[in-house]
Chains A and B, each alone.
Chain A
Amino acid sequence: MKLIELQIINKEYKLGQTQVYALKDVSLSFDKGEFTAVWGPSGSGKTTLLNMIGTIDEPCSGTILINGKDVSKMSDNQKSDYRNNQIGFIFQNFNLIPVLSAVENVMLPLQIRNVKTTIAKEKSMERLKQVGLEHLANNRPDKMSGGQRQRVAIARALVTDPEVVIADEPTANLDLATSINIIEIMQELNKKDQATFLFSTHDQRLLDRMNRRVKLEDGHVV
């Protein structure tokens, strides 16, 4: 059984009088442990596709199966639990909570799950160590560089040991050296944790390091 299966997914928006297709008849599947990039030009539907896999967006038609389970049949609370337990998100703008320190940001998904604070902290420190930021554990995001923030976001995405890590343009706001460093960290964690990494990107440096590339153009898989 595939980890993720998308069956004839369609997503359309109404822009004024015009019907715009974000995704059209997309059928795809992903196995456990994949390190895959969904790429293509802006507006090709990369982010929409990943949002659907991450259960924060819904298709207009089609089925998404994760571990054989149809996500469209889940309630909002079930989806929240699923995201908390099985999905790790890495955002283009890092999306760290500004009033929390690095370690507190990493602890968040565990605390949403109501894990004991001491255990959550211990685990979060481990993840911060893996991304090389244990010395900045008590710093708030505004005292960190872009690369450091993204590494905190990676630690946060992995702290719950998710099956799938969804990274939406994770290197878009980073310089070359930092981007390569971030990519290497994610590759290493992919190998170590066997988590499935799904990226949306049009960054060639990232694409070169991918096991698999899925190209989207105008909502179609090319």
Chain B
Amino acid sequence: MNQLTQWIKIAFRNILKSKRRTMVTLMAVGFGFASISLFQGYIHSIYEGLRASAIHGSGIGHLTLYAKGWQAHGKSDPEAYMISGKEIEKISRLALNNEHVTLASPRLSISGLVSNGKNSTIFIATGVVPEHERAVKAEFFDFQPIKGKPLDSKNDFGVEMANGLAKQLELVPGNDGVIMGATLEGQMNAMDINISGTYNTGVADTNDKFIKVPFSFAQSFYDTQKADSIVILLDHWQHTDLVMQQLTDTLASAGIEVEIKTWKELSVFYKSVRNMFDMIFLFIFVIVFIIVIMSTTNTMGMAVVERTREIGTLRALGLKRRGVTLLFAAEGGLLGFTGCLFGLSMHTLVWAIISYVNPSYTPPGNSTPVPLIVNFLPASIAQLIFFMTLLALLSAIVPARRAAKQNVVQSLTHV
């Protein structure tokens, strides 16, 4: 311990001695650290947003339950693979017995043609329980504002229509329309709708097709008492896998065969964006990784050459080879650690500026701008400091081992 303290002292003073060289290395490590940590904070906020958008924005919840076989055969024979009214009640009750489940809400998707009396176009609608929508939508209830009124279980024909579709059909809140389509039995059906509100789905591709209708309305349209899925909301997204397993077991033991999908499995957009950002992160990380290794190795290599006689002296005084390695590795590690602290101050400054300015941008495919958020992640920052310090320390090992292997007599006579 005494020895290590002494080596760290020597390392620290040597770092201070070669100011210009130290500054260059600190800048390289610091900028690398700041770029990684800022990008990490940025993609963390993106993942957070995408997760919330998948769970609440698109309304798929944390878990979605389907009757067994729905995924494979539901399209060709929907009625055979839907969840009956009794099962809806039983599944909801069993699910709500789980301490992490906060809501179980049945869904029924319908599709067909929607008309304003003059023109018609295709629509895709989801039948939802109006009372459950505020909980399902969470923060998106305000983020996707409704012009007019939200769904109301007292208004059997009141629907929410996506802005694009409403614009296409020249419908505004208060107007009436008609939807047409086939029931599950294959009979043609038409039902009046009343536009109670319009909303923005946030995505251009869905904004001209989507309608949200009361669950009972969707059941009437398809002439059924069934649901095609049950959306489960949890107290925290991190319980998703745990609850999925628990629910699978609970429902299986109750004799109900279901397929349960997590929000990650259902949100293709989340997966593809996450894969893309993970790849960009890896790319940046590898570049910084190489810069840190090269700059630390170069700095320590120069230090070894400059201090060859010092190495010879220490060896003559009885310092073992591993002691010399430790001395230079400590210097590399200290350089890395100081660089990280420098990077952390840059990170904090940039983070504070972004938080203050609050800039926004419109990502591709979005119909509205989103704020640019960089999350401050203390645990990730601590991990990064540890990793980059270790990396700098390991980068110094190669020149340090070269120093340790030097012939003592030759080192002492080095000019």
A interface list, Cβ under 8 A from B: 51, 54, 56-57, 76-77, 80-85, 87, 89, 91, 93, 95, 97-100, 104, 107-109, 111-117, 120, 156
Contact = CB atoms under 8 A, between A and B. Distances in A.
Contacts of B321: 76-77, 80
A100 B318 CA distance: 17
Interface string B130-166: 0000000000000000000000000000000000000
A112 B323 contact: yes
Contacts of A76: 320-321
Interface of B: 2-3, 5-6, 9-10, 13-14, 17, 309-310, 312-321, 323, 408-409, 412
Contact of A56 (B2, B5, B14, B316): B316
B13 to A, nearest CB: 4
B318 A98 contact: no
Given A80-B318, A80-B319, A112 B17 contact: no
Contact of B318 (A57, A107, A112): A112
Contacts of A100: 9-10, 13
Nearest to B309: A95
A161 B321 CA distance: 23
A51 B313 contact: no
Nearest to A89: B316
Contacts of A77: 320-321
Given A77-B321, A99-B17, A156-B317, 13 more contacts: A56-B315, A82-B318, A83-B318, A84-B319, A85-B318, A100-B13, A108-B317, A109-B318, A111-B3, A114-B2, A114-B3, A115-B2, A117-B6
A85 B319 CA distance: 11
A43 B309 CA distance: 21
A99 B409 contact: no
A95 B313 contact: yes
A97 B313 contact: yes
A91 B313 contact: yes
A99 B10 contact: yes
Contacts of A98: 17, 310
B320 A97 contact: no
Contacts of B314: 97, 108, 112
Contacts of A56: 315-316, 408-409, 412
A97 B318 contact: no
B2 A117 contact: yes
B253 to A, nearest CB: 64
A83 B14 contact: no
Contacts of B323: 112
A120 B2 contact: yes
Contacts of B312: 95
Q: Which residue of A80, A83, A107, A109 has the most chain B CB atoms within 10 A of its CB atom?
A: A80
11 contacts: A54-B316, A56-B315, A82-B318, A83-B317, A84-B317, A89-B313, A98-B310, A100-B13, A112-B323, A117-B2, A117-B5
A44 to B, nearest CB: 16
Contact of B10 (A84, A95, A97): A97
Contacts of B3: 111-112, 114
B315 A80 contact: yes
B316 to A, nearest CB: 5
